[in-house]
Amino acid sequence: MQESKKKILSTRPVKETLIQEAAEQNIQLDIIPLIDTEPVLDIDTQQEIAQIALQYATVVFTSMNAVESVITMLDQQVPEWNIYCMGNTTQELIRNHFGEQAIRGTGNNASELAENILTDNDELDEVFFFCGDQRRDELPAKLTEAGVQVEEIVVYKTIPLYQKIDTVYDGILFFSPSAVQSFFHTNKAATATVFFAIGSTTEAAIKKYTNNSIITAHSPGKEELVRKAIHYFANGELSIVNS
């Protein structure tokens, strides 16, 4: 008798190959986005980015949405920036547009990224932080505390998508605190559901709403988190502590 199919939910789109990988393990991987984003394309923001593009500046990205918005406003221009970032998809986008040499450092979370920026730059005066309208405080707070001026430029807005989810999932994957808030605004978690978080801030957001088991990715990679969930359900319950 065939084992019943496990069901997991990704709250943002993933590659079709990952859906196939799940299916090969008798796992149904559904996609229901819980947030949307839109770039900020007003003239003031465009002019500000155009001015920064003329500088040999140190800039920071903590999301792929920020990278995509800035690339759009650069209009094929490739400035000579020292770039610090987090997230595998974010790095890939930066590498494709700015080149590998532009990436000066990375971090698995905002605090670690800030520490790496400070370690690499003893006499750094200013950084430009391209972010969304719901950015976290950790990175700018740590840099400001160290005497670095942080110029924040909001380049995209986050829009919650409040969707009622009727299916009871064995696992649900979250990639941002905003998606967590959107989910629990409309839904409650089944007791047995295991949550998967892209990082520590997303994990903390989940803990505000539920005491369910949470597995957090070691590094902020979307595909890594999906594969961690597939592996978890394909191989039986692993140690939460060691995941």
Is 0.85 surpassed by the pTM of this model? no
Q: What kind of fold does domain 6-34+161-234 have according to CATH?
A: Rossmann fold (3.40.50)
Say which residue the tokens 């369910």 belong to.
212
Q: What kind of fold does domain 37-158 have according to CATH?
A: Rossmann fold (3.40.50)
The structural domains of the chain, with segments of one domain joined by +, span 6-34+161-234, 37-158
Find, among 25, 38, 90, 29, the residue nearest to 64 by Cα.
90
Give the span between the Cα atoms of 23 and 6, in whole angstroms.
10
pLDDT in tens, the chain (243 residues): 456 899 999 999 999 999 999 999 999 999 999 999 999 989 999 999 999 999 999 999 998 999 999 999 998 899 999 999 998 889 999 999 999 999 999 998 889 999 999 999 888 999 999 999 988 889 999 999 999 999 999 999 999 999 999 999 999 999 999 999 999 999 998 999 999 999 888 999 999 999 999 999 877 678 889 999 999 999 865 444 333
Say which residue the tokens 């994957």 belong to.
173
